[in-house]
Structure 1
Amino acid sequence: MPSKEEIEKRKLLKKQLRENARKEFEENLPISRHYFKTIFDYLNDYLEQNECDHTLNTTLEILRNQNITNVQETISWLNKNGGYCDCEVLYNVEELFDEDAIL
C-alpha cells in the first residue's frame, strides 16, 4: 500500500498533468472560447426546434455571421474533436469545454 506521501505525490502529478492538458487544449483552439460558447448556445436553441440534417450548415452559418476568418481551420478542429455535424458539435465538442473534462 502506498504511503501518504506517495499518495500526495500522485495527486499532485495528476493535477499537473490535467493542468498541462488544459493549457495545451486552450492554446490549440482555433477560435476563442467566447465564439465556441456562441456556437453551442445557438446550436442548442436551434436543435431544440429543428432536427439535425447531419451537416455542419448551421455551424458554418454561425461562424460566418461571427466574421470568423479561419472557418476551414475551425471546421477541421471540430471534426478532429468529434464534430462532424451540428448535433455532434453540440454533444461531442461542447463537453470538452467543461472544467472537469478529462483531456
Structure 2
Amino acid sequence: MPDKNEIERRKQIKKELREKAKLEFENSLPISREKFTQLFHFLDEKLGEYDCDDSLKLTNEFLQEYKIENIQEVKNWLQENGGYCDCEVLNNVEEMFDDNAIL
C-alpha cells in the first residue's frame, strides 16, 4: 500500500494531467468557447423546431450568420470530435465542454 507521500504525489500527477488535457482542449478549439456555447444554444433551439437531417445544415447556418471566417476548419473539428450532423454536435461535442468531461 502506498504511503502518504506517494498518494499525494499521485494526486498531484493526476491534477497536472487534467490541467494539461484542459489546456490542450482549449488550444484545439477553432473558435472561442463562447461561440461554441452560442452554437449549442442555437442548435438546441432549432432542433426543437426541426428534425435533424443528418447534416451540419444548422451549424453551417449559425457559422455564416455569425460571420465565422474559418467555417471549414470548425466543421472539420466538429467531425473529428463526433459532430457529423447537428444533433451529434449537441449529443457528442457539447458534453466535451463540461469541465468534468475532460479528465
Q: Could you say which residue in structure 1 is the equivalent of 2:68?
A: 68
Q: Could you say which residue in structure 2 is the equivalent of 1:42?
A: 42
Identity over the aligned pairs, expressed in percent? Answer: 55
Equivalent-residue separation in structure 2 for 1:94 and 1:8 (angstroms): 33
Equivalent-residue separation in structure 1 for 2:46 and 2:5 (angstroms): 51
Structure 2 residue runs without a partner (length 5+): none
Q: TM-score normalised to the size of structure 2?
A: 0.96
Q: Could you say which residue in structure 2 is the equivalent of 1:93?
A: 93
Report whether the alignment pairs 1:31 with 2:31. Answer: yes
Q: TM-score normalised to the size of structure 1?
A: 0.96
1:19 Cα shift? 0.3
Equivalent-residue separation in structure 2 for 1:12 and 1:92 (angstroms): 29
Equivalent-residue separation in structure 1 for 2:35 and 2:53 (angstroms): 22
Structure 1: 4+ residue segments shifted above 3 A: none
Where 1:58 maps in the other structure, the secondary structure is helix
| 1:51-93 Cα distance to aligned partner (Å, 9 max, x none) | 1111000000000000000000000000000000000000100
1:49 Cα shift? 2.2
1:5 Cα shift? 1.2
| 1:13-45 Cα distance to aligned partner (Å, 9 max, x none) | 001001011011111110001110111001111
Where 2:2 maps in the other structure, the secondary structure is coil
Q: Residue type matched to 1:72 in 2?
A: Q
Equivalent-residue separation in structure 2 for 1:35 and 1:63 (angstroms): 9
Structure 1 residue runs without a partner (length 5+): none
Q: Could you say which residue in structure 1 is the equivalent of 2:5?
A: 5
Q: Residue type matched to 1:80 in 2?
A: E
